[in-house]
Chain A
Amino acid sequence: MSPWVLAGLVGAALVGLGLYGLILHPHPLRKLLAFNLIGSGVFLVFGIVARRGAAAGFSFDPIPQAMVITGIVVAFAASALAVALILRLHAESGRVTLDPEAWTKPDDGAAKS
């Protein structure tokens, strides 16, 4: 099995694992970690497209690789924004739950305006 097929299988496994964690973890920071796993799996699958596109004297296709570099930085920016929102949610309400039912309970009393 060539290295790129192996890397592609790893990428597919990462997407599956990340999806599983994203659905099941109640903690938003854990959801964010799982989402980043999905992201790096997608980048890896795109990376093997770059590897297979070797031509013109390169052993890789530079254009998908450059897009992955851009993607990693944008993924970090989005993660930072998500972290800021989670911390603000915690500062406002004292809780970190994303469970919609927890917010509608009449006796929570923790929400400040």
Chain B
Amino acid sequence: MSVLPFLDVALALLVVGLAVWTIAARDLFASVVGYVAYGLLLALVWVRLYAPDVALTEAAVGSGVTGVLLITAGKRLGAARAGEAGPSPGLALKLFAGALALLVAGALVAIILILPDPAPSLAPQAAAAADGPGAGLGNPITAVLISYRSFDTMLEKVVLILAVLGVWSVGADKAWGAAPAPLGRRNPYGATVFLAQMLAPVGAVIGVHIFWVGADAPGGAFQGGALLAAMWMIAMMARITEPPRVDARWLRLALVAGPAVFLIAGLAGPLMAGSFFAFPHAFAKPIILFIEAFMLLSIAVALPALVAGPPNGRSE
């Protein structure tokens, strides 16, 4: 008898237990730490669903970068304790919220148990996108993201740029153009600096590797870009480097490079292959890797910009 079913149940209990902790913890910091651990374990659940690409994204973006974002936000709020946010809700509201949550979760369980059999699937179309003549991508997820659903992926990069614009616009008027507040403390711990010096170069190489193998194996521009972004943020936390000024031209060019190259390649589709966002079969793989390289750059710049927040007029 295999041990895998027991591991699955244990993993499920751990994930739900950490989710309960995230909701129930008294302290914001404890709650965020629980959320980061929860995200890493959730990545293992994704591995069990044969979704290593999603697992990499969940671990890097859903758990890691979101954790940094929330911890940084908690520090910047500083003195604002949970009690100041308002009175605790009364018993009636608690009962109502509990009943509503049970109702929604129960309805979802019922739907999951009566899902149609056999399940509908778009896998044959994805296989066609991955194995089209000349494309030859071993990773069907990358083929779906850049070829089959290319328009979605391009617009998602536009959403990232809009989010960066939104975050920057929230800053005070007189701070416009300045750099965001530093991510780390004024005198970083020696261990933080050592970690950044040792980890960041290795992590950057692994990030580029994950992007490069993404055509044929789990990985891709999202996961590699998130790893590069994390390495840059570690360096910023150790104060080895500072967040760039939001009016820096290189920053803005890097932000728009991914969607711009993607859009130009898509607009060239009608000339090269006969339709919008179509790639000629003979060159599909090099074109897809070329587009992904610029998307990697955009993601690696956009995620730290989102975490660093709006421009801040003060120097410290």
A and B together in one complex: yes
B-binding residues in A (CB < 8 A): 1, 3-21, 23-30, 32-34, 36-37, 40, 43-45, 47-70, 72-81, 83-88, 90-91, 95-99, 102
CB <8 Å contact, B50 and A59: yes
Q: How far is the CB of A95 from chain B (nearest CB, A)?
A: 6
B1 CB contacts on chain A under 8 angstroms: none
Q: B248 interface residue, CB < 8 Å from A?
A: no
Contact at B74–A62, with CB atoms within 8 Å? Answer: no
User: Which residue of the partner chain, among B28, B45, B66, contacts A7 with CB atoms under 8 Å?
Assistant: B45
- Segment touching A, from B136-144, B202-210, B273-281, B286-294: B136-144
Does B124 sit at the interface, judged by CB under 8 A?
yes
> Which residues on the B side are within 8 Å of A67 (C-beta)?
149, 152
Knowing A9-B109, A11-B108, say if A36 contacts B66 (CB, 8 Å): yes
Cβ–Cβ contact A40 & B49, under 8 A: no
- Assembled-state Cα–Cα distance A47/B53 (Å): 12
Is B35 a contact of A84 with CB atoms below 8 Å? no
With A33-B70, A96-B85 in contact, do A56 and B124 touch (Cβ < 8 Å)? yes
Interface size of B as a range: 35 or more
Q: Is B105 a contact of A4 with CB atoms below 8 Å? A: no
Question: Is A99 a contact of B86 with CB atoms below 8 Å?
Answer: yes
Given contacts A15-B108, A33-B31, A54-B123, contact A66 B73 (CB under 8 A): no
What are 24 inter-chain pairs, A to B, with CB distance below 8 A?
A3-B48, A4-B49, A16-B102, A26-B85, A30-B28, A30-B31, A33-B32, A36-B35, A43-B54, A56-B127, A58-B140, A60-B123, A63-B144, A65-B51, A65-B144, A66-B141, A66-B149, A68-B54, A72-B54, A72-B58, A72-B61, A87-B73, A91-B172, A99-B86
Please give me the residue from chain A that is nearest to B149 by CB atom.
A66
Residue of A nearest to B119 (CB): A52
Docked Cα-Cα span, A19 to B141, in Å, equals 31
Nearest 9 pairs of A and B residues by beta carbon: A16-B105, A53-B121, A80-B306, A77-B163, A12-B108, A26-B86, A52-B119, A8-B112, A21-B23
